[in-house]
Structure 1
């Protein structure tokens, strides 16, 4: 039985769906309840003839649903939450009630994806500083300034700065206001007696100097101090009370604020809902301590002071603008329209005028298309974290790995290029609490007690209260007889550790899920491990897959994911099929689980579910009952085990290329399934004549219409080839003629009216042959407004066989491109008559320091003969000594020889003697032979190859367009010109750079010459040179071309070519 016992990291993926629910139930109503009265009062306060009375208790949240029975349409079309406000209008003549739609929020599905235009999108976590108090030292105007800045909710920031001239200035970034300390203390009613009671510099000269500053008195500062006073008091916060009158006073993580201030000021008053007046005095004392070097400045970029920015924060920051825009539109309608009808209400609630988050989500860089190549890429995309949105940051402090990030962010997996260090991933076993703060689970062991007690390790709290041991003491057991280096308040000390305390963190917690899938990762170079993790996320699900011989245990953790179908109740399976599973529970109720098969991902890979239970089986709550194509026996397996030979073969292994055994091609090894979708719409034109489909379409042979039904639509399950007819579509337009009498004569002669018929049939593209697996017909009831009454979708599934140019990769970053497919009889063989499935170059192993690749190969051959699998720990030599792994490999090779008679060389264990398959002669040296796990990458050669033809020309430069996506043609670049110049191909160059390029008149003349209508003339001046001449004329330079008179050599004739 497989239960959904989720690790912390996979549970954190589900937080996005839970946070979306909390947004609709809790946060959004409270935000609107506080925001609407303020906006309504500001908008309608100028209207003298309007009496406004509003109540936000009847706000409604409606779900936009679609009445479609197809599962694909329900899950893939746009679904939004509508927020409407019931409005009652009273005038002297009538009373009117209606629901005014404020905005629409895109709906999140159960796995936390946003569906926009039928495509799944994922929100990327963003790190930001938690609300609280921070200190730092800056240099401004050639002077050192000690700064304390407080981040309130909704990015309200206040900076308190201590300058060299003993002045304290307070600057508010939201209200753009500057004032001194004495002014703020006066308006907050903080007396000198109160200051002397809490300050350690009570009667000092420097504090008296600060308090003798002049007090600014104006209305703007008075209004500001009334606002800031709400942050420095001790009320009890109740979201349902009438005390709250500003939206800035909600959603504050007071647990963090209290714990945060306790680190600086000791035990302060607990359960306080905001900053105390004494905290302001203690902040001033701390700045003075920094100035007199009594205290070291803490790290403001500590990871314990950061939180994850969620999708709720993104929505709440935009609601102010959207609601105000909609209510201004309502005011315009109320003041301009004399009467209020249903037509006006329909115009107000029209989709064109409703402000939606759809456009904002489309252009936001944090909302990306979901990476759906395989299950691992889906999970890793939801665990992606960005430190900042901009990639042009020169500060390396943001990109580097900090000690506080240990166990919070992955140490290896990051993006390459400009985003290196800015985009990373969450590790395997992290915990995200309700305030979206990342914590690391750990075990705290006391030496007097052998029982382990699991707890959550908060680095910020522990590093400020206790002595925190450095990397050696956390990652390894430290020696109690030696002094150990510890860190306390950024100061390094050598002390004797506490004998009753030890902190243990698992090594898998410093890596993400992709890195933990790599066996022997500690024996590889980190850059190659990063490449291996990336390659697994780009691997395509195979038609025939195998479970890996060498596993790490993370493969089964990936199956505990909410995207799979799992049981919601305890019961017995009564029905199982490829599309539905029925469970009868203990209350004799039947619950049906529908499997949405034959779905295509954003990368056009197939998503298909397979039941993992049988009729009569008893299932429990949370048990997995169906998995997708990436899993074999509820274990993540996306590749296959191959016998690999590290050697050479006719030079085809050059530059990490691979030699492939044709036997695997016959057995459909590394064959993958891909799904493409065609969509066609049937419209109604202006003369109310609909487009239609019919089998009786002219100009097509019976062979081209062999797969169509009587309606002209292709049959489900039909095998199609390139350029095959899929759906016929006929558009009829009115026949216009200058002489209406001719139309009447022809209609009388032939018996029907003349019509202009246009063929708009849908054909299959080149290279897209496959089989029709699904047909979807969608009727549109509102066709009068959209002019579209029918939509048809076709789903074509196709097989991709392995061919020369495809890319394969192992789990250690050992990737290569297939350069040659050899017959099995021509490949080398050993004394056991075994020929390899794959031949790769041995040069790529020592240069890249991939020892784990070799260890997996040696252990894999033992698994092949003894029918066993290995569950490998992260680092074997750490627990059992430095020679343990070497002894282990030696014993397993001997085991294969003893039980299965596998012949090996006792002098060079792991290496075998091979013979040439063509000549039968023994090779000179022994080579390494074993089994390794390989996957097929999505970078297939069939998607990259492009035939060079005469394609379209650019409108501006009239040169051939390049690129496969734009159907580009024969565009010769600078390097191609060099190649032809090296061989002296002058006539070919002339043709390519004139007739086949931007010589417009030359192209027309060549066409007429080929048709035999006129003679071939010399080439004309190309458009690129004409553009240069135009640019020179803009610089007041005129260029003329002169020709020599053939009769008199000294006379020049003006040419008309320019």
Structure 2
């Protein structure tokens, strides 16, 4: 209902508007403040420096980018901030004008991503405490902390001894608060007149005691005046004479604090009025003094510091601003220290001064909130960008809880799993951000029954003043409640009040959940933990080659295209004149043509394909903002990442053990869950130490014609060829230096045969195991200049591979009902219905009641009805709330009776919703009834081909003589302690013996097995493994003499020494 509202938290506000404001105002302000403080203490004897702050400029030079998707293009990934400097040499009076590069910081591309080291990354926003006043209490000490911009904090403390002080802990300053107010021009009369405690003895005795402080100040008057001035630089007073004398060069000259709505907060909570001017005046300081006295005498209570109204969103700009201080100070010191050198060559120094520019690359690469962008599908990219970090403190359990102030502001279910549970959260479906940084949620305001309503947005502080209820959520009628009682929220508590039809404020239940949660139909009939798992699984689903739209949808599938930056929209109204897979041309009303170029077969961060497909035809009239091209996850402008398949809840020969699933072989033959992936091989051709280059050639020895069948005459694989494992990708070799002792032989061969000896080293590249596919793109880059790494040619091979379903892959529904494929059955062996429908997936029926997934059953039952009716069902998650508690029950009954005209096996008078099946092998009717229907399933990115690795032959370790570990080293299977237990439980004694001896480090048994296989020798018992000899050698390294004894076969009682253990 509220999906028409703009979504501005991430796409617009924090990624464009704030960035422009930062470039226009905040960066100039920050640079001016910091440089003015640094340059005060600059004193160069031989040079005079003048910084031109008015002409501070940005450099937009273009650079070659190393991103794999932006080859041979010019792109500027950084902004460069330059300041013009006038340098005068005082010895020879020469004047130099040059631009000094202060810093570099990254740009955002049109999708809101940061490109670092050629990889797309995104920034995870963080919730921090907002600017304002916060009151705390620790062991009878009351504090009022004022948080300014740039994390500047001033603390006013009321101690146990009734002393009140104002402190700045960053500068290590602490001054009496009354003395500070006198310093900025507030007299005792003004304190008594404006304070609520003006007539109290408590305040008057305080003012009298303050005379003693002036005696202490007069002893060190210079130090104390300096401290008072630094504290006063944070405030603006009414004393105009003080303002004239006050220096503007002090840091943090901040007058405005009301960016954080201090007026609204203090009005709501403490009941006194702030003035309309958004600055701190003397009246505000007196009010803070009154509040500390109120807290001391328990007249008011402390508020929740973790209230959502006290939070602000820290974005990428705040991270840049926090690092500007360090980088600017380092750059200015670099300039000054080099100018102060006596033997400096000024012309050479000024020509190379900008070659050592500092940037944020190092900080960004190690920052935990700048993460590798998840590009598995469009939904995963959206959810990754809308991720929020609540706190970095892992110890506090209270921060992980859901607060009433977060209702409608953060998703109540969607969070990270594991150690960050409750700390990493997500935005709800629709949330707005105003110019003050407040987050607002749309609410429904209705004044009269059966009339239209209006939508207003409220923040967390305004929500506390109203009775808020979920959309028409009635409580069940019983002895305690009548029909019109409803569950409501008021002042952070649950209440049950009678529902007033004439005036109510409600929130749609789908508005308090994230985007991924709202893609789950019948969400309120499921356990929240399984809904969380279902949302996570959808973000891990792979785009498929052949996909279908779900038979039951929630309506949010089409909204993903509006939230996603990757989808291409029409920038003007017009008629499509040209539409292909790489280009779309639209002619507008003024006869102007605009071309849209589509990127095909791009390389994502998760090795999936990003390919655009046009959805408009030539001659079609498109509107402004209409979607004209979509990616692989969409079908007809709707998010479709899976398939509707027939599912049977039952069992088959025990293969459904522990949530495993049995699939029909037709899913593989028809490519139902097949997906495309891309691997990239990057190969460099370089020079050796003696400038002999690596050469590619087809006529390379050692390889037969079959391995070289895909190579061209230059020894490089051709585009479009099918590459299998161990096939040659590039045939290249290098000439090594011939040893000096073969010089005579070389001359002899040259006189006889006419050619010289050549020492050739083969450096060819082959396809690794498990990466066979088709070469879809070949890119070559030549370098005219010889670089430091001596590369003269770079080759990039993009190999596309099609992944079919295998035993061990994961399939998942929308309700968290995931399972690993345990068996692939022939279609003729599966049970079938009366109309010859066999299931595509068989899963255990025990997993439904134990997980409390009723929505899973509703989808299975209703999807079968829509399959026969050839329709789709758009169902709202607020179904029962709008139409009554029995609406879903009547919906199921009415449509099943309609389907009964087409097929009477779905609903019958005996067992509603269940069917009888026949055995696929015998044709007999199976005992019992089964739930057979349709469900929407997806394929997860956790594929078995990327995880399981095995070998038959391969390298051994030279020390332990055991097989190497790791897939890249062609390692073998690693059997640890728990794997041994598993084999012991099944009594697999011979398998264990084989794993620990022949397949491990028993060298003699290995040779004996080889003789047995080749020459039919007899097998012998196992010998002592090599790891035991290794342990003995390590003990000998500790100067321990180890002797061994064996029992004689002739006389069992005799022991004699042997050196069997010594090799």
Q: Which TM-score applies when normalising by structure 1?
A: 0.89
1:1025 matched residue in structure 2: 1031
1:469 matched residue in structure 2: 467
Question: Structure 1 CA distance, aligned partners of 2:9 and 2:352?
Answer: 45
Greater CA deviation, 746-755 or 529-538? 746-755
1:860 matched residue in structure 2: 863
Kindly indicate whether residue 188 of structure 2 is the aligned counterpart of residue 192 of structure 1.
yes
1:399 matched residue in structure 2: 400
Structure 1 alignment gaps of length 5 or more: none
Kindly indicate whether residue 279 of structure 2 is the aligned counterpart of residue 274 of structure 1.
yes
**Quick check: 2:544–2:673 contact (8 Å CA) kept in 1?**
yes
The 5 A counterparts of 1:621-660 are 621-660=624-663
Question: Structure 2 CA distance, aligned partners of 1:983 and 1:879?
Answer: 57
**Cα distance change, pair 829–279 in 1 and its aligned pair in 2 (3 A):** same
CA deviation after TM superposition for structure 1 residue 208, in Å:
2.8
**Cα distance change, pair 542–495 in 1 and its aligned pair in 2 (3 A):** closer
Candidates 515, 523, 531, aligned match of 2:533? 531
Question: Structure 2 CA distance, aligned partners of 1:125 and 1:484?
Answer: 33
Secondary structure, counterpart of 1:104 in structure 2: strand
Secondary structure, counterpart of 1:793 in structure 2: strand
Secondary structure, counterpart of 1:418 in structure 2: coil
1:128 matched residue in structure 2: 128
Kindly indicate whether residue 818 of structure 2 is the aligned counterpart of residue 822 of structure 1.
no
The 5 A counterparts of 1:458-537 are 458-463=459-464, 467-469=465-467, 487=490, 501-537=503-539
CA deviation after TM superposition for structure 1 residue 646, in Å:
1.2
**Quick check: 2:474–2:484 contact (8 Å CA) kept in 1?**
no
CA deviation after TM superposition for structure 1 residue 604, in Å:
0.8
1:292 matched residue in structure 2: 297
The 5 A counterparts of 1:334-353 are 334-336=339-341, 338=343, 340=345, 344-345=349-350, 347-350=352-355, 353=356
Question: Structure 2 CA distance, aligned partners of 1:704 and 1:449?
Answer: 78
The 5 A counterparts of 1:557-956 are 557-560=559-562, 561-738=564-741, 743-744=746-747, 746=749, 751=754, 754-899=757-902, 904-948=907-951
Question: C-alpha offsets along residues 321-365 of structure 1, whole Å, 9 cap, x if unaligned?
Answer: 112222222233323374546654564333xx3322112111100
Question: Structure 2 CA distance, aligned partners of 1:815 and 1:70?
Answer: 34
Secondary structure, counterpart of 1:758 in structure 2: strand
Question: Structure 2 CA distance, aligned partners of 1:1000 and 1:829?
Answer: 55
**Quick check: 2:259–2:437 contact (8 Å CA) kept in 1?**
no
Kindly indicate whether residue 11 of structure 2 is the aligned counterpart of residue 26 of structure 1.
no
CA deviation after TM superposition for structure 1 residue 540, in Å:
0.4
Kindly indicate whether residue 1031 of structure 2 is the aligned counterpart of residue 1040 of structure 1.
no
Greater CA deviation, 948-957 or 435-444? 948-957
**Cα distance change, pair 251–39 in 1 and its aligned pair in 2 (3 A):** farther
1:256 matched residue in structure 2: 261
Question: C-alpha offsets along residues 1012-1051 of structure 1, whole Å, 9 cap, x if unaligned?
Answer: 9xx99965674763597489x5xxxx74324569999799
2:142 matched residue in structure 1: 146
2:419 matched residue in structure 1: 418
Question: Structure 1 CA distance, aligned partners of 2:618 and 2:493?
Answer: 65
Question: Structure 1 CA distance, aligned partners of 2:775 and 2:136?
Answer: 64
Greater CA deviation, 907-916 or 616-625? 616-625
1:283 matched residue in structure 2: 288
The 5 A counterparts of 1:90-129 are 90-91=88-89, 92=92, 95-129=95-129
Kindly indicate whether residue 84 of structure 2 is the aligned counterpart of residue 81 of structure 1.
no
**Cα distance change, pair 281–530 in 1 and its aligned pair in 2 (3 A):** same
**Cα distance change, pair 498–876 in 1 and its aligned pair in 2 (3 A):** closer
**Cα distance change, pair 1003–126 in 1 and its aligned pair in 2 (3 A):** farther
CA deviation after TM superposition for structure 1 residue 371, in Å:
0.8
1:331 matched residue in structure 2: 336
Greater CA deviation, 960-969 or 563-572? 960-969
Question: Structure 2 CA distance, aligned partners of 1:64 and 1:893?
Answer: 67
Question: Structure 2 CA distance, aligned partners of 1:496 and 1:234?
Answer: 52
CA deviation after TM superposition for structure 1 residue 547, in Å:
0.4
**Quick check: 1:641–1:932 contact (8 Å CA) kept in 2?**
yes
**Cα distance change, pair 153–953 in 1 and its aligned pair in 2 (3 A):** farther
The 5 A counterparts of 1:60-79 are 60-66=57-63, 72-73=70-71, 79=77
1:40 matched residue in structure 2: 39
CA deviation after TM superposition for structure 1 residue 747, in Å:
5.1
Greater CA deviation, 454-463 or 410-419? 454-463
Question: Structure 1 CA distance, aligned partners of 2:1035 and 2:75?
Answer: 53
**Cα distance change, pair 189–996 in 1 and its aligned pair in 2 (3 A):** farther
Candidates 364, 368, 374, aligned match of 1:361? 364
Question: Structure 2 CA distance, aligned partners of 1:355 and 1:281?
Answer: 46
CA deviation after TM superposition for structure 1 residue 502, in Å:
2.3
**Quick check: 1:84–1:99 contact (8 Å CA) kept in 2?**
yes
**Cα distance change, pair 776–64 in 1 and its aligned pair in 2 (3 A):** farther
CA deviation after TM superposition for structure 1 residue 581, in Å:
1.4
**Quick check: 1:154–1:248 contact (8 Å CA) kept in 2?**
no
CA deviation after TM superposition for structure 1 residue 119, in Å:
1.5
CA deviation after TM superposition for structure 1 residue 1054, in Å:
11
Question: C-alpha offsets along residues 629-688 of structure 1, whole Å, 9 cap, x if unaligned?
Answer: 000000000001011111122222222221211222221101111111111112233333
Question: Structure 2 CA distance, aligned partners of 1:787 and 1:434?
Answer: 53
CA deviation after TM superposition for structure 1 residue 916, in Å:
1.0
Question: C-alpha offsets along residues 286-313 of structure 1, whole Å, 9 cap, x if unaligned?
Answer: 1222222222222111101101100000
CA deviation after TM superposition for structure 1 residue 133, in Å:
0.8
Question: Structure 2 CA distance, aligned partners of 1:907 and 1:76?
Answer: 71
CA deviation after TM superposition for structure 1 residue 784, in Å:
3.7
Question: C-alpha offsets along residues 356-406 of structure 1, whole Å, 9 cap, x if unaligned?
Answer: 21121111000111111100000000010011234x32x221000000000
Greater CA deviation, 103-112 or 176-185? 176-185
Greater CA deviation, 799-808 or 725-734? 725-734
**Cα distance change, pair 201–966 in 1 and its aligned pair in 2 (3 A):** farther
Kindly indicate whether residue 204 of structure 2 is the aligned counterpart of residue 201 of structure 1.
no
The 5 A counterparts of 1:232-247 are 232-233=235-236, 246-247=251-252
**Cα distance change, pair 315–193 in 1 and its aligned pair in 2 (3 A):** same
**Quick check: 2:133–2:147 contact (8 Å CA) kept in 1?**
yes
CA deviation after TM superposition for structure 1 residue 965, in Å:
5.7
**Cα distance change, pair 676–76 in 1 and its aligned pair in 2 (3 A):** farther
CA deviation after TM superposition for structure 1 residue 891, in Å:
1.1
Question: Structure 2 CA distance, aligned partners of 1:48 and 1:568?
Answer: 59
**Cα distance change, pair 587–495 in 1 and its aligned pair in 2 (3 A):** closer
Secondary structure, counterpart of 1:835 in structure 2: coil
Question: Structure 1 CA distance, aligned partners of 2:679 and 2:787?
Answer: 30
Greater CA deviation, 598-607 or 469-478? 469-478
Greater CA deviation, 171-180 or 720-729? 171-180
CA deviation after TM superposition for structure 1 residue 437, in Å:
3.3
Greater CA deviation, 601-610 or 686-695? 686-695
Question: Structure 1 CA distance, aligned partners of 2:854 and 2:441?
Answer: 30
CA deviation after TM superposition for structure 1 residue 455, in Å:
1.9
Secondary structure, counterpart of 1:51 in structure 2: strand
CA deviation after TM superposition for structure 1 residue 779, in Å:
3.0
CA deviation after TM superposition for structure 1 residue 223, in Å:
2.4
User: How big is the alpha-carbon RMSD for the aligned residues of Structure 1 and Structure 2?
Assistant: 3.9
Question: Structure 1 CA distance, aligned partners of 2:890 and 2:499?
Answer: 35
**Quick check: 1:385–1:424 contact (8 Å CA) kept in 2?**
yes
Question: Structure 2 CA distance, aligned partners of 1:1003 and 1:1055?
Answer: 19
Greater CA deviation, 902-911 or 997-1006? 997-1006
